[in-house]
Amino acid sequence: MPVMINISELKETLELTPSTQNIMLVGKHGIGKSEVLTNYFKSKGMKVVTLFLGQMSDPGDIIGLPSKVEKKDAEGNVTSQTDFSPPYWFPVDGKPIVLFLDELNRARPEILQTVMDLTLNRKLAGKSLPEGSYVISAVNDGDEYLLTDLDPALVSRFNIYEFRPTVEEWLNWAAGERLDERVINFIQNNPTWLDGDTDDRKRDYRGLDKSADRRAWKHVSDVMLKVGTIKDIHKRIIAGIVGAGAAAAFIRSVQQHNAITGKELLLQYNKTIKTVEKYQLHEFAILNESVFRFLQNANLDEREKKLAAKNLGQYTDFLRTNKKKEALANFTSIFEKGTYEQAIVFMVVNAAEVYDMLNEFVEKL
């Protein structure tokens, strides 16, 4: 079984792995493999070229088209040979690229043969990739895919990792991308639905069953941002995106539970604290995570910063003075992990008393 890594571990792996080594990522569709890779290498100033090998029918899509070239020798004799024009994606400017071979195990055998020389020698039809170029592949894993068995010789040319982002990483990404709060809250409360529920029984529709995945929840958010009160048509639309089971669970959650978010707590404290006072520990855990996620991703003006800092102080004082020690311990554990770096920076700059209190609490644990 491949070693499992999340997003932060993948970035560290990319940082440490030299360009002469190939990387293969194993995982379901829609979990962000290409997005993470593209964003990481773009931050390094490198171009990422994605080739969907499962959609290619001819090796010429990778190596380019053949053409006849005539050459004269010193004695004036003319000889002809076959050369390949560089494909559209080939870096003719000599700058290194990141070649991302997606759907590697859905490619035709003749396409895989072309990939063999590329992964070993960084060459295509005799043309070398610029020095410093990376070759990274992604493969789908699961019984629901129509897959091609990979040659062990090809597999041996890759460092292989199972890519599985954590729910926490997805929630943080979702907050940064301004996904609908109802979607974020639902996944935080029901994390098993993020990648589909394995216990959800599927009916046989010849491969047309919809199931939840990370990309699909983004699509649900796009719909929900336009929806106030959920109507019957909205239920049908959402079911078409994530499947009937996930849609029913999501809609039931939205209709039954109107949780306070970190944004609401920090910007509307007096309006929300009465509800928060009645929370159980598991509800405080959800709210605490939401507070950190909001501070991590919020783009606040000066007035909002002062208000959020003031209300953060009131909230932590409430936890400390109202026998909510377990809830405060949970808040402190999130602080101590350091996952939300920008949230901690916010405390240092705008709420120093809260920052100092949490550090003291950590020392006493």
With a pLDDT cut of 70, the percent of the chain lying above it is 86
Highest mean pLDDT among 156-165, 258-267, 300-309: 300-309
Residues 6+ apart with CB under 8 A from 310: 269
pLDDT over 90 at 330, yes or no:
yes
10 Å CB burial of residue 311 (0-12, 13-18, 19+) is buried
Query: Which three-class secondary structure state does DSSP give residue 51?
Result: strand
88-104 pLDDT tens trace: 788 888 899 999 988 88
End-to-end C-alpha distance for the chain, whole angstroms: 38
pLDDT over 70 at 68, yes or no:
no
